[in-house]
Amino acid sequence: MTRACVRLVVALLLAVAFAPTLSACDSTGCLLVTRSAGGLVPRKSFRLDLSYRATDDSQLMSGSDTAARVTRPKVDFEHGLVRPGFHQDLGGSSRFLQVDVGYGLTGRTTLLASAPVVTHRSYDVGHPPVLTENYETWSLGDTLVGVRHAVVATAGTSLVLGAGVEMPTGEYRLVSPEALFDIGVLDPMLQPGSGSWDVLLNAQSSRRLGAGGLDLTGAFSYQANTTNDLSYS
């Protein structure tokens, strides 16, 4: 291994050792960006991935810090209002059964589709001073379709660009059961879908560093959200 590679490895280890703690990625776009081989599938080949993801939201947080109490506003769709401090978060979980499909249109171009075929959200919510209830939703989530193309594909360097559209296939108007306190259209955090058409752009690049088998890889992802017919972005 050359001295330049040794210096790079040391720098990367120091960066990891002193990097701040970050939250895990929990979006559809992350799966499309972080696939091996730049997210590409060989020509005329299919790839089918089935994954189950679960997020435990029982730890109360205020930004990046733990908190003893967390309150959120209510988005009152019926009256077009935001009511501050309406909900008290007490914990919960989100679970997703997701299907990702890729097809190699050419050696450099792959078509993609991704959908959480089952989305389950369950949260304990308090409405001070005494009422605590569980709110639960099940449904298909929003479906993402896209394309990835290798702009550069050499032995030592690759650059793959991607674009996708997230379609509003998930429920976003689910209402609270009549027996619960919070009536009307449920909070957006409980809805399996967004109700909006969104655009996702991503890029992934890698470069071989010498003959030591060390690669440098970088990824970028950006999602532009629109507003649904409830006037909510």
3-class DSSP state for residue 26? Answer: coil
Instruction: Determine the pLDDT at residue 127.
Output: 85
75-111: pLDDT as tens digits: 999 888 898 988 898 989 999 999 999 999 999 999 9
Quickly state the pLDDT bin for 5 (edges 50, 70, 90): low
What is the phi-psi region of residue 224: left when phi exceeds 0, alpha when psi lies from -120 to 50, beta otherwise?
A: beta
Residue 9 lies in a domain: no
Does residue 121 form part of some domain?
A: yes
Question: Percent of the chain scored above 90 by pLDDT?
Answer: 47
DSSP 188-228: GGG-S--SS-EEEEEEEEEEEETTTTEEEEEEEEEEE----
Cβ neighbours of 203 (radius 10 Å): 18
Looking at residue 21, the DSSP 8-state letter turns out to be: P
In a domain, 80, yes or no: yes
- Give domain status of residue 1, yes or no: no
What is the total count of domains within the chain?
1
**Total count of residues recorded for the chain:** 233
Phi first, then psi: what are they for 185, rounded to 5°?
-65, 130
The token pair at 52 is 């189950």
pLDDT tens digit sequence for 50-59: 999 899 888 8
Q: Is residue 17 part of a domain?
A: no
DSSP structural state of residue 179? T
DSSP states of 129-178: TTEEEEEEEEE---EEEEEEEEEEE-SSEEEEEEEEEEE--S----B--T
- Establish if 50 belongs to a structural domain: yes
Which residue matches tokens 């171009």?
Answer: 109
pTM equals: 0.75
- The domain containing residue 94 runs over which residues? 26-224
The answer to whether residue 5 sits within a structural domain is no
Q: Is residue 233 part of a domain?
A: no
- pLDDT value, residue 18: 66
Give me the chain's average pLDDT, please: 85
